[in-house]
Copies of this chain bind each other. A is one copy, B any other.
Amino acid sequence: VVLAPGELVSLGGPISKEVTGYDLKALIVGSEGTLGVVTDVWLRLMPAPQATSGMVAFHTDHARGCQAVADVLACGVVPGAIDFLDGRALEITRMAYPGDVPNGAGFVVVIEVDGSSDDVAEHAVTVGEAVSVEALAVHDVDVRSMWRWREGVSNAVSSVRHGKVSEDVIVPVNRLDEALGRFHELANARGLDACAWGHGGDGIVHATSIVDHTDPDQLAQAEAFTHEIFALAIDLGGAVSGEHGLGWVKRDELASQWPRAGVAAHDRVKDALDPKGLFNPGKKSSRGFGALGSVVMP
């Protein structure tokens, strides 16, 4: 990484642990270019799994589905992925699902189990039992077909009304059900068509309102809704960003989530490593910059 005022420094390195000084490597990772310019990275690779298995479980509603996610997390096997779609997201993508969606399904849990061939066979049984309690149906699904469908969700949602306002919040996984319930209450109160999907095992929710991007009323409602979603995530002990950082669009949000003394420490670290404010100014923090504009993804 090139640090101010312009020196190339190696942090970490090709060793498994580096506990000599402060973990400046971790500080740089995720700093979005605001503390220095990363020029090279070492990556630690993991062996590719010998086998994978896909599973899709349909539940009646998010309460039952989030309980299934919790049951999977408690079953003693750690799946490679535990994703979910809520009822509205399922409705939008059901035509693309590689199978028959059972009647009455209002929540889907999407699971990949990976590991050695023996393990996957055994673990799929364990996970399958955990996710099956009160399920409408549990399907074994070819992993590639499953992910092709799952990865199409975002575009499918966008195509409903040619616009969406989509967030990426995270909540403690034991509050996922509460998060989804309150999310839909807030959307209903604003008359918004909303859906959610995400990484259930991590508590990451792509909380989305489906809008006509030519309708200024809908856009205004959606923007206000976005701030309610952020407040909801924070209220539940989560964070306004689960995967994608803050960047420019969410630069105002750090101060709403972190305690005042935490933001002060954040600012002091920024000033310490970038005293002239030259590195990617305005990202991660709104100091010295204006308020947030509309967020509309076509």
A293 at the interface (CB under 8 A from B): no
Select the residue from A14, A123, A173 with max chain B CB neighbours within 10 A.
A14
A29 at the interface (CB under 8 A from B): yes
Contact A241 B20 (CB under 8 A): yes
Residue of B nearest to A245 (CB): B19
Residue of B nearest to A285 (CB): B21
Contact of A7 with B239 at beta-carbon distance under 8 Å, contacts A27-B27, A246-B21, A271-B272 already known: no
Contact B122 A16 (CB under 8 A): no
A11 at the interface (CB under 8 A from B): yes
A268 at the interface (CB under 8 A from B): yes
Residue of B nearest to A199 (CB): B16
Contact B239 A18 (CB under 8 A): yes
Distance of A271 Cα from B201 Cα, bound (Å): 39
Query: Which DSSP category, helix, strand, loop or mixed, fits chain A's interface?
Result: loop
A230 to chain B, nearest CB (A): 10
Query: Interface code A118-132, partner B: CB below 8 Å = 1, 0 otherwise?
Result: 110011000000000
Contact A262 B11 (CB under 8 A): yes
Q: Tell me how many residues of A have a C-beta within 8 Å of chain B.
A: 73
Contact B203 A259 (CB under 8 A): no
A235 at the interface (CB under 8 A from B): no
Residue of B nearest to A10 (CB): B259
A201 to chain B, nearest CB (A): 8
A156 at the interface (CB under 8 A from B): no
A273 at the interface (CB under 8 A from B): yes
Q: Which of B204, B265, B268, B284 contacts A17 (CB 8 A)?
A: B204
Contact of A266 with B22 at beta-carbon distance under 8 Å, contacts A16-B170, A47-B78 already known: yes
Chain A residues 19 to 77 lying within 8 A of chain B, measured CB to CB, are 19-24, 26-27, 29-31, 35, 46-47, 50, 76-77
Distance of A35 Cα from B23 Cα, bound (Å): 12
A238 at the interface (CB under 8 A from B): yes
Contact B22 A242 (CB under 8 A): no
A8 to chain B, nearest CB (A): 8
Contact A237 B13 (CB under 8 A): yes
Contact of A284 with B21 at beta-carbon distance under 8 Å, contacts A9-B262, A47-B78, A119-B119 already known: yes
Q: A19-B245, A24-B266 are in contact. List 5 more A-B contacts (CB 8 A).
A: A17-B170, A21-B254, A21-B284, A47-B78, A272-B272
Give residues in A with beta carbon < 8 Å to B: 3, 7-11, 13-24, 26-27, 29-31, 35, 46-47, 50, 76-78, 115-116, 118-119, 122-123, 170-173, 201-204, 237-246, 253-254, 257-263, 265-266, 268-273, 284-285
19 chain-A/chain-B pairs, Cβ below 8 angstroms: A3-B262, A3-B265, A9-B261, A10-B259, A10-B262, A15-B172, A15-B238, A16-B201, A17-B243, A19-B30, A20-B239, A20-B254, A21-B263, A21-B285, A22-B30, A24-B269, A118-B118, A269-B273, A272-B272
